[in-house]
């Protein structure tokens, strides 16, 4: 609760600085305020707090994922100064909306009532509609925000209608009450409840970019400003997966035989379509969009294979995926700044004059591939072993096949950087920017060698 309040106040403070024309204060304020929000979140550790008649539940799981989401947002803001250095107009609106979107994400990790889940999703979605079109001069940005708004609004109707049907069948919006209803009526659930459940799956699948509800993601990711795409691909993605995880395993665990086959099929489609389509992308940004889709499929393993280890495995995977993805987007920003595009040909010969950036991008892509001993490998290992323990052998085989396919497109920029001739342009990163990239790379290595730091938290 304190975290949501602190993030809201931080967003309001950024807007107030904009009114006072204190543009130079924005980033220092945010980079100081986000760690404070993390500390406020950690004050509730082991307390299992309930607010407003269990509408908001702050347990260790929600605290761990909340802290991760805020930390990833902090990492993204580390690169904001470089990304917006040539922008003359005030940025208080963009920064504040990002913070408000983060507050929506925190609500999605801490809900105990379907109304709070819906409010969190809509707080996040409305902010993203604005952020996707924040580069008003670019037609691709305008196209991205229109596509996202139209499809997002349409799918929100599915989500809200599903919640209404669940309420009509169970008589409550509280997760505990709905869980008791499913236990009591497990053998003969009403058609209304079943319909509401699957409408809820459709609405959440769109937010996570699960196949076949993923078509908006590549175009929106490509048209959205790159720094904000990094936020959408990491913070938004993780918050949505955590919401799905909490909802189905805390609320619908007694009727797994009803929804598990559907999620199984969606996970398989997401892993295969995301990886196979990634093979044909002409540039790094669209490739990362399809990479993000495929990783949604991997993270769904934690939802399906729920056990005592699932929460820790999902936390590690979310952290490993997010850190590597932010690293890739940070270097993508430099490439686009130097070459005005992010085609694979723009990466040719980059390692000659930019060895640090090339090595960091290589480690990030190898981690996303799942190459040992990096964080991505350990995260996939724990998810896969958890799924095997729950009997999902074929899903694990498909996940491993998907990882093997991903090698082909993750290695394309690596081969271009180190094995192909190019103009070898010098990337203007600066000491601070380069230090941040190195820090992210060290995190990727550390999580690979010390996965227990996160696995044993939950």
Q: Report the chain (458 residues): mean pLDDT per 10 consecutive residues.
A: 89 90 86 94 86 86 94 94 81 91 93 91 90 72 78 85 91 89 83 90 88 83 86 92 90 86 92 91 88 91 84 93 94 86 83 88 93 91 90 90 92 89 76 92 93 85
Contact 23, 93 (CB under 8 A): no
User: pLDDT at position 84, please?
Assistant: 85
Provide the token pair at 63. 């605290």
User: pLDDT at position 106, please?
Assistant: 93
Using alpha carbons, list the distances in angstroms from residue 140 to 220, 259, 282: 8, 37, 16
Contact 296, 212 (CB under 8 A): no
C-alpha span between 232 and 167 (Å, rounded)? 30
User: pLDDT at position 362, please?
Assistant: 94
Q: Count of CB atoms within 10 A of residue 280's CB?
A: 10
C-alpha span between 256 and 263 (Å, rounded)? 10
User: pLDDT at position 225, please?
Assistant: 85
**Range of 319's domain?**
2-455
Closest CA to 215 of 257, 155, 158, 135: 155
C-alpha span between 234 and 25 (Å, rounded)? 26
User: pLDDT at position 428, please?
Assistant: 79
Contact 232, 216 (CB under 8 A): no
Radius of gyration of the chain (CA): 21
Sign of the torsion formed by the C-alpha atoms of 83, 87, 91 and 93: negative
C-alpha span between 406 and 414 (Å, rounded)? 13
User: pLDDT at position 443, please?
Assistant: 94
Closest CA to 236 of 120, 353, 315, 137: 120
User: pLDDT at position 188, please?
Assistant: 81
Provide the token pair at 96. 């504040």
User: pLDDT at position 18, please?
Assistant: 86
Tell me how many domains the chain contains. 1
Cα dihedral 49, 55, 59, 63 in deg (nearest 10): -110
């Amino acid at each position: 609760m304190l975290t949501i309040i602190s993030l809201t106040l931080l967003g309001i403070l950024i807007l107030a600085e904009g009114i006072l024309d204190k543009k130079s204060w924005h980033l220092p304020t945010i980079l100081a305020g986000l760690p404070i929000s993390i500390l406020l979140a950690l004050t509730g550790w082991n307390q299992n707090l309930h607010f407003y008649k269990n509408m908001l539940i702050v347990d260790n799981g929600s605290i761990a994922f909340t802290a991760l989401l805020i930390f990833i947002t902090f990492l993204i803001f580390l690169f904001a100064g470089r990304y917006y250095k040539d922008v003359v107009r005030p940025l208080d609106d963009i920064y504040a909306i990002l913070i408000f979107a983060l507050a929506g994400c925190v609500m999605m990790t801490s809900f105990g009532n379907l109304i709070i889940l819906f409010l969190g999703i809509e707080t996040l979605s409305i902010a993203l509609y604005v952020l996707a079109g924040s580069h008003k001069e670019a037609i691709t940005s305008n196209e991205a925000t229109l596509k996202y708004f139209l499809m997002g609004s349409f799918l929100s109707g599915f989500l809200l209608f599903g919640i209404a049907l669940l309420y009509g069948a169970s008589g409550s919006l509280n997760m505990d009450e709905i869980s008791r209803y499913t236990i009591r009526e497990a053998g003969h659930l009403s058609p209304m409840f079943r319909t509401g459940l699957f409408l809820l799956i459709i609405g959440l699948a769109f937010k996570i970019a699960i196949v076949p509800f993923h078509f908006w993601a590549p175009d929106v990711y490509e048209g959205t400003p790159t720094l904000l795409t990094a936020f959408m691909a990491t913070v938004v993605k993780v918050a949505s997966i955590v919401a799905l995880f909490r909802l189905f395993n805390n609320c619908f665990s007694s009727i797994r035989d009803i929804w598990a086959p559907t999620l199984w099929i969606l996970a398989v489609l997401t892993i295969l379509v995301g990886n196979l389509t990634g093979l044909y992308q002409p540039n790094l940004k669209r490739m990362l969009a399809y990479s993000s889709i495929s990783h949604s499929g991997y993270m769904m393993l934690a939802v399906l294979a729920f056990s005592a280890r699932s929460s820790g495995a999902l936390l590690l995977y979310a952290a490993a995926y997010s850190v590597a993805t932010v690293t890739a987007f940070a270097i993508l920003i430099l490439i686009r700044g130097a070459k005005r595009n992010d085609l694979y040909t723009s990466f040719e010969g980059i390692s000659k004059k930019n060895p640090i950036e090339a090595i960091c991008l290589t480690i990030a892509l190898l981690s996303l591939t799942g190459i040992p001993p990096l964080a991505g490998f350990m995260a996939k290992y724990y998810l896969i072993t958890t799924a095997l323990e729950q009997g999902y052998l074929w899903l694990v085989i498909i996940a491993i096949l998907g990882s093997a396919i991903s090698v082909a497109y993750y290695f394309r920029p690596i081969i271009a950087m180190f094995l192909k001739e190019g103009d070898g342009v010098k990337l203007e990163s600066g000491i601070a920017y380069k230090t941040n990239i190195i820090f992210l790379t060290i995190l990727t290595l550390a999580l690979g060698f010390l996965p227990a730091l996160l696995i044993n938290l939950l």
